[in-house]
Structure 1
Amino acid sequence: MKKLETREDIQQLVNSFYSKVIKDEKIASFFTDIAKVNWDEHLPKMYSFWESILFGQMTYKGNPMGAHFPIDEIKAMEQDHFDRWLQLWTETVEENFSGENADLAIYKAQNIAKLMAFKMEIARRL
């Protein structure tokens, strides 16, 4: 199996992942109906986000939490939504890549899912 080593690899991973997300009954609506994601803008941001996280290339400029709070105000992003996001991410990584960076991509996604779910829950309580 291929190692996750380049920006092109990240592009393949992210594209494969989002092709699953937009078909998923549990989470697709967050992207298609609520956020109405412009994929031409969103995908390059995600390439840079993961490139920064996995390779230390500081190409990502953005605020992931700030982007998600307005969505949560329209429809609560619950733990099970983050669990599904993580499940799809993990499946996609494991189907396409192996090695240290693939493991790191899963580990980092686990942390992101936990943190975002926690922060969304806290924000709803305030």
Structure 2
Amino acid sequence: MKKLESREDIELLVNSFYQKVIKDETIGFFFNDIAKVNWDKHLPKMYSFWESILFGQMTYKGNPMAVHFPINEMEAMEMKHFEKWIELWKKTIEENFVGENADTAIYKAENIARLMAYKMEMARKPG
């Protein structure tokens, strides 16, 4: 096991994670069928997103929350979906990395998932 400490490590983490996601019965359809993700564009954005979060490299440009609202309108993104996302993220980290940045990646992802789940639920409530 190695420490999570470079852009290359983030690329390994993100690629390994999404290999699990696209095969997953609970959340894969969001990526494959609803968002129809262009992986050539999505993966580099995710590398930059996590590089910014973990290493303070401000390479990410975008609003991750805003991108999810249209998907949530097509198909409700519920807590169970975010819980599965976290489960797969943690599993991927634990299979590949140890150390403070690995722990931070889990902690930050849990916070992001909770906030996103809350915002998606609020967006579905009438009025």
TM-score range, shorter chain: over 0.9
- The aligned residue for residue 13 of structure 1 is 13
Residue equivalent to 2:36? 36
Q: Does 1:119 align with 2:119?
A: yes
Contiguous gaps of at least 5 residues in structure 2? none
Aligned-residue Cα RMSD (Å) equals 0.5
The percent identity for this pair of structures is: 75
Tell me how far apart the structure 2 counterparts of residues 116 and 57 of structure 1 sit (CA, whole Å).
23
1:51 maps to 2:51: yes
The TM-score normalised by the length of structure 2 is 0.98
Residues 48-104 of structure 1: per-residue CA shift (max 9 Å, x gap): 000000000000001101100000000000000000000000000010000000000
- Counterpart of 2:4, as a letter, is L
2:96 corresponds in structure 1 to: 96
Runs of 5+ in structure 1 lacking a partner?
A: none
- Number of aligned pairs? 126
> 1:26 is matched by which residue type in structure 2?
T
Alpha-carbon distance in structure 1 between the residues aligned to 2:44 and 2:67 = 15
Deviation of the 1:26 alpha carbon: 0.3
